[in-house]
Structure 1
Amino acid sequence: MQRKSTQNFIEYDPNCKGAYGCPVRLNLVPYWFLAALRIVLTLLPQIGYIHPDEYFQSLEVVAGDILDVEVARPWEFNTTFPIRSVALPYITVGFPLAILKSVSPLLDFWFGINILTPYTIVILPRLVSCLLSFVADYCLYRICYCYGQNYRARLITFASSYVVLVYGTRTFSNMTEMVLTSILLCLVADCMCYSDRVIMQDDFLSDKYDKAASPVERVKLFKMRNALPSHSLTHCLAVASVTVIGIFNRPTFIAFAFPPIFFWLHRGLGSKNIGFGHFHLRILTFVLAALPAVVLFILIDSFYYGYLTKAEIGHLEVSLNNFVVTPLNFLRYNSNSQNLAQHGLHPRYLHFLVNLPLLYNVLGILSMLAFLRMVYKGVHKQWSDLPRIQSIIGLMTASFILPVGVLSMFPHQEARFLIPVTVPIIFLHSQRIRHSSTTERWTERGKSAKVFFMRSSNGNIMLTLWYLFNIVLTVFYGFLHQGGVYPLMDHFNQEMQTKPRLMTIHVVTSHTYSLPLSLLQLENSKHSVFDRETGHRYKLAKQFFAYEMGSRPLLEVQKKLEELLESCEFKLQNKKLDYRLYLALPASLSDEFHITIYNSSSKFFHTVSRVFYPHISTEALPKLLGQTDCSQDITEGYCEKETFYNSPLKYLTRFIEQFGLVLIRISAPRALKYSQY
């Protein structure tokens, strides 16, 4: 076992009188409360919509295959150049949806209960993600336990992070990447701890053997050394397999896997009986152990995307062109800066200066300051104050710094890309924000170590800020950010079931994220039906149409509505195909839309159908100053400006009303007599 006196974190009660304080054992009740809260928040559900990828890189793809419904399949999963593997989404999303599909007819037949709803389609995959997130909790506990660290404080800090409460319960590939990174760190930490213990015993017996006076004693010591367990290739298959799974989940996992693998390969190097021969043997064994998982994932993707078929295998017509390697396609695509420009280019410093503080607030700032201190000590050659290369502190430090540094080299940077560094950051810095925490520095010289403690007077403030920011961000990203989209789709799911059969629904969205069509459970329009009367097979007509306008000016949105209205009116008059045309936009833009329509002399009618609360779009934030009141008919071409001083209650009411997603019904004056709405 590695000596715990070096680099050991100890909590102290500041009220205890003594030279260094008194040990404190935190109660785990807060952790179990936060763990239960994580499950409760998942089941509510959280209506917040963080990023389109939480639907369009998992649910939209798998639901279209398993539930056979109409979806908006993303380009990453096209058959011509697929850059995403389907194996992991089918486990995290496909497995619960397959169970839901199997159980739903039985419950409908026996009890008349329809469980195939937008709620269950969203919640069951999220519940699987939530349960997987607890694997990271266990890995953090296991690492702390192996090295005698304070796991209570770390678990409470980990469970109280909004990254875990919100991102950890969503169907992001980044969440799966965080779990796999935690597993890899746990496996490597266990290997390091085990190797340290065996190497320490081996070195001790080797020294005794060299000093033995009699042949009998040498034979005895030789047998004891041979009886020591093998440790050089411990968990090799597991480490290699997790690495492959992580790379096929997201090829960026290479950045997160490199530090643990590096430390796994370097265990014990420099001791008497561990040399570079063991290092090269570990590399060779690691590569061989990774091959089964690599072959399995390539086969799964090749069959799924149609590159490889059973017929080709049966006729032995298989070549390299029959296999697809999605991580390789991913790297080829992202190596082109023009492709990244389509998704947004960001400055290289965004991860360090914005995304880390956004995800981990005070811990993110402390981690950056700690990194700068390490750079300072390295420049001044204070090597004894830096973590040892074969220590758990060194492993966690490298697992934080290197991935963030590598990802900062790419111009496309989003905060969720850094989620996998959650466990290293929590392990390294969580104790520094607690009210009884201590700030430590350590030095190692040979086998002796000295640990110096210094009280942190800012612990209470940092802990308060930690909880405050995480509560605010949990509410914002969990319930407010684009929070009207899920209720909107739930509303359209019910409307699609009650509308006339030959009526189509058209929805234009402005300043709103993409609509996940899988929640509507529409019949796949790619299929066809057989008409017994005519004896012909007809393709199913598409019944729901979504048009994304992004953040374009409302004048362009108006023109799009006029085009759609003209087209729908033509079909209504010539083909008797009725329609409903809607516009969904943040309530903060409803008055501006009202003004735009009036000033442009538009010929269509618009009425508010429903408003879904709460909803915040960062592209159209609620206006704190200069609110307008267009509730009355406009006669002069402008809206009355609201001020807090004129009418405080009305001002606040108007401000709160902006936190919604407005669904506006668009209709032509002459179309009212045809509409069945």
Structure 2
Amino acid sequence: MASSRTGLIASIFPLWLVYGPPLTVLKWICDGAGFQATPMVVFYALRILMFLLSFILEDWALYELIPDKREQSTALLLVASSYVTWTFQMHTFSNSIETIVILWCLVLMRRMMLDEEHTQVTLCIALAFLGVLGVFNRITFPAFLLVPAVQLVPHLIKKPFRIGIVLVTAMLVTVVAIAMDTENYTGERLRLRQLFSMGIITPLNNFTYNLDPANLAQHGVHPLWQHFVANLPQLLGPALPLLLVSSKKGTLFWSGLTGIAVLSCFRHQEPRFLLPAVPLLLASIKWPSRYARLWTCTWVLFNVLAAMVFGRYHQAGVVPVQSWLAQQEVGISQVFWWKTYSPPQWLLGEASKFINTTDLMGMPRESMYEQLAAVTTCKVDGVDLVNQKHIMLVAPTNTHNLDEKQQVKVPASDKTLTLEHAHTYRRHIGLDDLDWGEDGIWGTLQRVVGMRGLSVYHVDQEC
């Protein structure tokens, strides 16, 4: 738990709502079969869940949002054949949930605009519920709904009772979400009169956290054009030129474009932040009439190669290494993760009660060593190291590339650390650590691909 209320930025509300019911069913199945669900069983069960949610809800939403049968077929084919759908959308990212919630908010808005004669109480309640769920899941959620929200305003004015239903429902769901987050972080039930005094509002904390440049610097600071110039081409590939010259500039197109523009105002910009924009933009593309076969071959080749890279290698070692740590019988007390995705701590299972996980994100190497030096102690002669609590470092292999041991001097603390190689998962590449300018193209490929892998090191302090 973070030490300050502004550090409490992740809401339990969407996680409980999306993953709670299927995990309960999984527990019933395992109990009935007479075995306990391991963290890895849960991991793959959630992957299957995300596949089903994407396969059913995402396609269903696009089916409703695009009434023209020909455009509908093109959109469904492009989204289904995109590597983004196969890889990122199958992850338990908050961005994956955000994509589905945004699409269904668009569906409900469209249904509401098509029927001006009825108040549509059920639709209003559902829209308000999804809106609150989306905000508590990711604060960037409203950015993709700015255009359809403006289009919906005249229809709400014609039926003002709709506004009241939406506001009341949103307020009630917000109170429930705040109560769940408060109990999750404090262990205490929130009473209504304590809502403003002790209630933990995670979206507000998240927004405050992201306004601080020092916090963003820990995750990595990017230029404002990163999303448009680097991330969007990476996600769309050969579909990007078609988006510019052969696309339908409708609600879906402008929703995706507006969302990207708003997200570009924040200095930390990862490709996965644009997941909701991918189906919106692909659904706006018209299949090329000229050079159709050439474009189709290019599209297929791009997605196959990208799926291999992002689905098979990119940050692929995080889950296996976390699983390896959970199986170790030595007394691991603390694990530092550096230059990787944030590790899912629940994969440690029972070991999470004893292992303290610290995500150092992409901080400078010297700062990382200082963090390690602050928690390590000198070896004591005559004491069996197996019975001691171990400090471990998990980092990409190319950052150390150790076979045995390496000693590191930490000038800030005048201490000497010993890093001893313990384990390596070879099939891991960190594409967030590319530095074409400093290393050059060949040097970058040698470092990131040639020395691929995610390694674990024992960390000790030499006396």
TM-score by length of 2: 0.79
Q: Name 2:301's counterpart in structure 1.
A: 468
* Distance change >3 Å, CA 165–CA 285, structure 1 → 2: same
Residue 369 of structure 2 is aligned to residue 521 of structure 1 = no
Q: Name 2:58's counterpart in structure 1.
A: 136
Residues 129-528 of structure 1 mapped to structure 2, 5 A cutoff = 129-134=50-55, 135-144=57-66, 146-192=67-113, 230=117, 235-266=123-154, 280-282=157-159, 285-306=162-183, 312=191, 318=194, 320-321=196-197, 323-337=199-213, 339-368=215-244, 394-429=250-285, 431-432=286-287, 437-438=288-289, 456-457=290-291, 459-496=292-329, 499=330, 503-504=331-332, 507-522=335-350, 525=353
Find the aligned partners of 2:32 and 2:69 in 1 and give their Cα distance. Answer: 51
User: What per-residue deviation string (whole Å, max 9, x for no partner) do you get for residues 96-139 of structure 1?
Assistant: 334445554554xx4xx4432x3123222232222221201111
TM superposition shift of 1:170: 1.2
**Structure 2 counterpart of 1:262, one-letter code:** V
Find the aligned partners of 1:261 and 1:618 in 2 and give their Cα distance. Answer: 36
Unaligned segments of structure 1, at least 5 residues: 1-72, 196-229, 268-278, 372-386, 388-392, 439-455, 526-541, 628-651, 671-677
Contact kept? 1:308, 1:323, Cα under 8 Å: no
User: What per-residue deviation string (whole Å, max 9, x for no partner) do you get for residues 54-106 of structure 1?
Assistant: xxxxxxxxxxxxxxxxxxx5x4x975664443221112233333444555455
**Structure 1 counterpart of 2:12, one-letter code:** V
What secondary structure does 2:455 align onto? strand
Contact kept? 1:571, 1:577, Cα under 8 Å: no
**Structure 2 counterpart of 1:176, one-letter code:** I
**Structure 2 counterpart of 1:359, one-letter code:** L
Unaligned segments of structure 2, at least 5 residues: none
Larger radius of gyration: 1
**Structure 2 counterpart of 1:490, one-letter code:** S
Contact kept? 1:610, 1:663, Cα under 8 Å: yes
Find the aligned partners of 1:349 and 1:593 in 2 and give their Cα distance. Answer: 40
What secondary structure does 1:615 align onto? coil
Find the aligned partners of 1:286 and 1:418 in 2 and give their Cα distance. Answer: 30
Find the aligned partners of 2:449 and 2:195 in 1 and give their Cα distance. Answer: 62
User: What per-residue deviation string (whole Å, max 9, x for no partner) do you get for residues 499-550 of structure 1?
Assistant: 5xxx34554555444433321212664xxxxxxxxxxxxxxxx3x3556565
Find the aligned partners of 1:418 and 1:512 in 2 and give their Cα distance. Answer: 19
Find the aligned partners of 1:512 and 1:465 in 2 and give their Cα distance. Answer: 31
User: What per-residue deviation string (whole Å, max 9, x for no partner) do you get for residues 281-334 of structure 1?
Assistant: 345523432322331232332244148966856xxx556435454334434444
User: What per-residue deviation string (whole Å, max 9, x for no partner) do you get for residues 429-471 of structure 1?
Assistant: 1x33xxxx43xxxxxxxxxxxxxxxxx23x2232222222222
Contact kept? 1:483, 1:614, Cα under 8 Å: yes
**Structure 2 counterpart of 1:115, one-letter code:** A
* Distance change >3 Å, CA 246–CA 585, structure 1 → 2: closer
What secondary structure does 1:428 align onto? coil
Contact kept? 1:147, 1:193, Cα under 8 Å: no
Which residue among 64, 78, 87 is the counterpart of 2:13? 87
* Distance change >3 Å, CA 572–CA 522, structure 1 → 2: farther
What secondary structure does 2:11 align onto? coil
TM superposition shift of 1:607: 6.1
TM superposition shift of 1:491: 1.7
Residue 388 of structure 2 is aligned to residue 578 of structure 1 = yes
Q: Name 2:397's counterpart in structure 1.
A: 587
Find the aligned partners of 1:89 and 1:287 in 2 and give their Cα distance. Answer: 28
Find the aligned partners of 1:138 and 1:483 in 2 and give their Cα distance. Answer: 30
User: What per-residue deviation string (whole Å, max 9, x for no partner) do you get for residues 195-233 of structure 1?
Assistant: 6xxxxxxxxxxxxxxxxxxxxxxxxxxxxxxxxxx2575
**Structure 2 counterpart of 1:660, one-letter code:** G
User: What per-residue deviation string (whole Å, max 9, x for no partner) do you get for residues 234-267 of structure 1?
Assistant: 8444334333332232232222222222223346
Contact kept? 2:11, 2:181, Cα under 8 Å: no
Q: Name 1:618's counterpart in structure 2.
A: 431
Find the aligned partners of 1:321 and 1:571 in 2 and give their Cα distance. Answer: 53
TM superposition shift of 1:486: 1.6
What secondary structure does 1:296 align onto? helix
Find the aligned partners of 1:662 and 1:579 in 2 and give their Cα distance. Answer: 19
Q: Name 1:648's counterpart in structure 2.
A: none
Find the aligned partners of 1:115 and 1:427 in 2 and give their Cα distance. Answer: 39
Percent same amino acid at aligned positions? 24
Contact kept? 1:263, 1:395, Cα under 8 Å: no
Structure number with higher helix proportion: 2
**Structure 2 counterpart of 1:612, one-letter code:** Y
Residue 453 of structure 2 is aligned to residue 660 of structure 1 = yes
* Distance change >3 Å, CA 323–CA 114, structure 1 → 2: closer
**Structure 2 counterpart of 1:367, one-letter code:** L
Contact kept? 1:244, 1:290, Cα under 8 Å: no
Contact kept? 2:76, 2:283, Cα under 8 Å: no
**Structure 2 counterpart of 1:92, one-letter code:** V
**Structure 2 counterpart of 1:290, one-letter code:** L
* Distance change >3 Å, CA 464–CA 564, structure 1 → 2: same
TM-score by length of 1: 0.57
Find the aligned partners of 1:626 and 1:423 in 2 and give their Cα distance. Answer: 35
Find the aligned partners of 1:334 and 1:586 in 2 and give their Cα distance. Answer: 26
- Calculate the aligned-residue CA RMSD, in Å: 4.2
Q: Name 1:276's counterpart in structure 2.
A: none
TM superposition shift of 1:140: 0.9
Contact kept? 2:62, 2:72, Cα under 8 Å: yes
Contact kept? 1:92, 1:128, Cα under 8 Å: no
TM superposition shift of 1:425: 1.0
Find the aligned partners of 1:280 and 1:656 in 2 and give their Cα distance. Answer: 57
What secondary structure does 1:186 align onto? helix
Find the aligned partners of 1:580 and 1:308 in 2 and give their Cα distance. Answer: 30
TM superposition shift of 1:179: 0.6
**Structure 2 counterpart of 1:469, one-letter code:** F
Contact kept? 1:509, 1:583, Cα under 8 Å: yes
Q: Name 2:23's counterpart in structure 1.
A: 97
Which residue among 120, 145, 148 is the counterpart of 2:41? 120
Find the aligned partners of 2:28 and 2:278 in 1 and give their Cα distance. Answer: 36
**Structure 1 counterpart of 2:452, one-letter code:** F
Find the aligned partners of 1:615 and 1:320 in 2 and give their Cα distance. Answer: 45
* Distance change >3 Å, CA 583–CA 248, structure 1 → 2: closer
Contact kept? 1:302, 1:322, Cα under 8 Å: no
